[in-house]
Structure 1
Amino acid sequence: MAREIRDTVDSDIILQYQALLDVLETVVTHHDLQSLFRDLSKKLQRVIRFDLISVVLHDPETGMMRILLGKTSIPLKTSVPEYMTVEEAPGGWVWQHQQPLLMDDIENETRFPETVDILRAHGVKTCYVLPLTSSARRLGAFGVGSLRESAYGEADLALLRQVAKQVAIAVDNAINFERARAAERDRARERDRLRVLLDVNNAVVSTLDLRQLLKAIAESLRSFLDNDFTGLALYEPGTAMLRVLAHDFPGHEFDEEGVLVPIENTPGGRAFSSRKPIVMNQAILEQNPDWRNNPSGFIRNLLAQGIKSSCAVPLVSHDRALGILSVASTRDDAFGEGEAELLSQIAGQIAIAVENALAFREIESLKNKLTEEKLYLEEEIQTAYNFEQVIGQSAALTRILRQVETVAPTDSTILILGETGTGKEVIAHSIHSLSERRDRTLVKLNCAAIPTGLLESELFGHEKGAFTGAIAQRIGRFELAHRGTLFLDEVGDIPLDLQPKLLRVLQEQEFERLGSSRTIRVDVRLIAATNSDLAQMVAERKFRSDLFYRLNVFPIQIPPLRERPEDIPLLVRFFAQRFARRMKKRIESIPAEAVAALTEYRWPGNIRELENFIERAVILSKGPELEIPLSELNTSRKLAVPSRAPSESGFATLEDAERDHIIRALKQSNWVIGGQEGAAARLGMKRTTLQSRMRKLGIIRQD
């Protein structure tokens, strides 16, 4: 009999050790709490009778005990809370005190009323709870319950203590494994998020086409978000609308590009106005029926395509809202705070791209406009000053044109000499049009029209802060004329102290801006013009001889109009037709006696005076015949009679005649030089030219 008892005890011990080995195997092979607990319940059931098994873990984030129920043989009559406070849970007491807790008389138990009520409701009579503690931390508690009173003896309790040690190791391993997996998932998601941001950044810097940019962004987002639709809408200035610029919705027949979407009562409009991400799902959509019923129909069309959730984020750059980026999904609740945060980061990059694209579009528009204007002006210049459009057939003009034809293809410096109004600028344009530089710009500067202190800056440019009033960097005329032609009119008015710098540019083709030490090299052809006698100025030490020799490489002397009277009829007809077209008049004939009178007149203002005279004649003409005011011509002829004493030959000198002519014009205009009624206009010359002649002739107002 004793032998049988001993064999029975040995058999029970073997079963218990086998159970421990099974528990150990379960601990080693499981890394998931739920599967661990499930298998553990099955294997323990073979050696220990229980009706309820549970694991209670302490949650550091909430400070509460989390309850996990294993296999139970009794149906649950009441719900078991997922969390309980440390004080209300027996496992909380065990976790705090690190001691086992045996409750073998549940009916009379007065502690832990909430837990005890649940146990009583299910008929549990005995409960044994043990601490789960690893070598590193306190985890929680492990417990079993039975419908029998005093269900567990000392041997059962000893076995359960051994089991609890193994379960603690398994739970610790499972928690660590889950944390490692969560950390790996977070790292993978962060890696994917950074990859998306990098892809977006690469797309932003590689294209200014917003449609191509959106397509690239949509492809990158689909690898990270559960989005089916991606759209870009920009604010339409002057309206309360957003215009859909581009969208990407593969696999769907959806074409809403260019559609206007109201800012009011739309999720995208709310994102634009609030400058915050707006998430939409089915629940939120039910709370905002105005979104579904918006008059634009854009949202209705999206919903008709199966869209169930979306997220719209504003595009903001330099505190200016530009539009919105939207993503949408056919799955409800596809976007949360994490997705909204990522999209906000992407929107920041896209906003820069949008701003750059808009700026580029504006610059491109202005560039095209300037190009068109440049072409127009170049055509106008070619029309007005082309070699073939120089009017005249006289021998004097023909000789000049031959010189122009000879020197134009070269890069030599040219000095055009002649009285005011003889057409020096026209000849300069003709030279440029016939040169190899005709496809580049002809830059002009009248040296007499620029104040002496600013002429250096005008020619060579200046840096910001180079002198008082230099609030920005300025490019000079020599830089503007790089690889082109620079025409300097009234070159005799260049101050002596500036002439060496001009000479250096002509010889070395290099200079420095005012306020800068950096040498700038240019390739410029110079055409200079003057109505002054530079040789006489050199003799009087008013002009540098070395600069004069450098300018005088190929001089062209333009004859005054009085020396080629045979050209006057041609010029009269040319100007009459040009002004008639401009004034939308028809001039069919010019009286012969008028042409003869014009040919006999001396024209001290040369072609410019003739041009202005014919313009007045066209204005006065009522019919098809040009009505020339010969009385004005006779008055001018009388005014041209010298008032000074004649020379020894019996005639007044040309200089005296010019002085008297200018003085009479000044008296008629009450000494007003500029303006339509000023002396310069009466004489048919520029204001600056008249001022230059007055200085040369010593004309000052006598009160």
Structure 2
Amino acid sequence: MPDQDETLLLNLNEAIATMRDKDSLFKVVTTKLRLIFPFDLIGINVFDAELKTKRLFLRDYYGAEDPQPAVPGSMANFTPIANSPIEQLVADPRVRQLTLQDYMGAYPDYEPFARMRQQDIGQLTAVPLRIGGHLTGFLTLASRRAPNLTPADEKLLEKIGSLIAVAVANTLAFEEVARREQQRTLQLNINNALLSIKQREPLFRAVAEELSRVVPFEYFGIRVQRAEQGEVFQAFAEFSRPAPGAPLEARDPDRDEDEGLRDSESIYRQSTDLLQAAAVYSGPEFKALAVRYPRLRYVYEHYHTRALLVAPIWQRPDGAAVLTLSAAEPDAFQPEDLATVLALVPQIGLALENLFAFEQIEQLKAQVEQERTYLVDEINTSARFGADSGAFIGSGPALQQTLRRIGQVAPTDTTVLISGETGTGKELVARELHNASPRHARALIKLNCAALPAQLIESELFGHEKGAFTGAVERRIGKFELANGGSIFLDEIGELPLDLQAKLLRVLQEREFERLGGTKVLHSDARVIAATNRVLADEVAAGRFRADLYYRLNVFPIELAPLRERREDIEPLLRHFVQRLSKRLGKPVRQVRPADLAALQAYSWPGNIRELEHVLEQAIIVSQGPFLEFAGFAAAPLVAGAAAGASPASAPIKTLREQERDHILAALQRTGGRVSGAQGAALLLDINPKTLEARMKKLGIRRTVGLQS
């Protein structure tokens, strides 16, 4: 029941994608799962990143209205995985059906098992929860009766586990933020206004305004540097007050319009030692610093700055944050001003942490939402191009060679270049490569390089920051970022503009990129599968495609043969499509005459499998008798073309319309212009007389043979 499974996945994902409350999330998951998997108890355990400890997320006994934890207080703490039943699941993380008796011998003192046994629960189904291929927990379904899951059920549970894993992680992230917010509210009531601001510039401006209430200054700056997964994250804020009492104005943190200083000469980059300790520099002391540092010398001369206050917000191995104030008066800052600022530093640090956590959550939220969108697309696409699509129907040598190549490269992370004419099934091969790879639990992200204007492809590939260009009203995650841990399919790669080819080459070589309008270097572990209907070697020779990118893409080529080179597969393809399309269209399954089959096999099929499917769909729609009727439609030239097989190769090729018109005229000529009846052209062409009359009208053919032309 694939449709029901897809509907369940879609409904479940829509229900849990934006859930913030774990009790509501758990209730929805329990309700949805009970629709198809009967169970008496459900539990979710989450693990730490190192898979050393576990935490009971929620447990529900026997369909109780309110989920109850197994042991009071156990939900807040992590406990060791070792020496618990979970260690066996972690050692072999897959969908498993177990009996309670399997566990009781190894863990006789495990109290939850004793409780389940008292309730006659003896069957367990364990489902791994994964995010990006990483194990994050387990979903456990327990029941009194054996579930007798089929392989299809287990595969469905795997997909459900992936959805629940993302929802649980999202819920836990919001739970953690909520805990921090509550703690900050209790400890720092005076900082409520700061904590409520979620945008970077308004928050920094609020911090500056808050400080200005107690310490006068002309300049305010914050610089944050943090190492995150090997990257350097930086946040800047600079404000200046042009006159006493005037509003603060935002400044570019690393450039003034009238200065010639390079970014590398910023005080933040030059004077790490200066900014590590809290201090006030004024008068001659500040003048000495101005001699030493060009940036301070510049503000000394152009802004008449004479005093500097430095207050580190934090200093730790993964980065640092520092606040600086400056003023024109040499005695603007006193030791008590430094003490006041330092007293506010914890508040500022917490406000910063809250801001970055919120930004991260918004990014995760956007990513989850886009992944949900791609999941919906994946479900819809799977419905159209699943195992019954005809992509791998047949037994000819060309198809067998393709299947061998797919089987060889699918388990690896090697870049694959699929080439072939339009309609040969390049996207379906890409889907099969992804589904047969270790990355199948993550999404296959697709981009048609020919379907978008050149100026939008870069944003689609790499994403963009808010304000990066006109219309960029919010940050957008690119497809390489979404495909992290999964696969990205670049269709029609030969259409990619040359300037973007260089950027794509960087991603293939370094696995890193930047969002449009951004400065942060992002990394993506995405397997690249590309496809083209062009001969890229010729494009390289013509200067339209970069040679270095071509060699990066052409690591493992798979070339799809056109249908005219797979004539032995046309008959099984025809039977497959007739069965499937007749069922979908609600039509009886009709046979194909041997002469029509021969004509179909003799046709060149410039549109390949896609064209064959469309021709058959038209024939199924219009056919009335026991056989499929091809005359008068896209397949009509097939019959005429087969009959005229002796035509010289140099003869001009007629259009499909011309071929159809000639074929109908020939039939009318033979029947003396009669359309219907026992001696009519409709019977000769094996087509409904009304249909033939409609085609004649469209093609401008009159009944009287003498007036045909």
Is the shorter-chain TM-score for this pair beyond 0.5, marking a shared fold? no
Structure number with greater CO (CA < 8 Å, separation at least 6) is: 2
Q: Which entry has the higher C-alpha Rg, 1 or 2?
A: 1
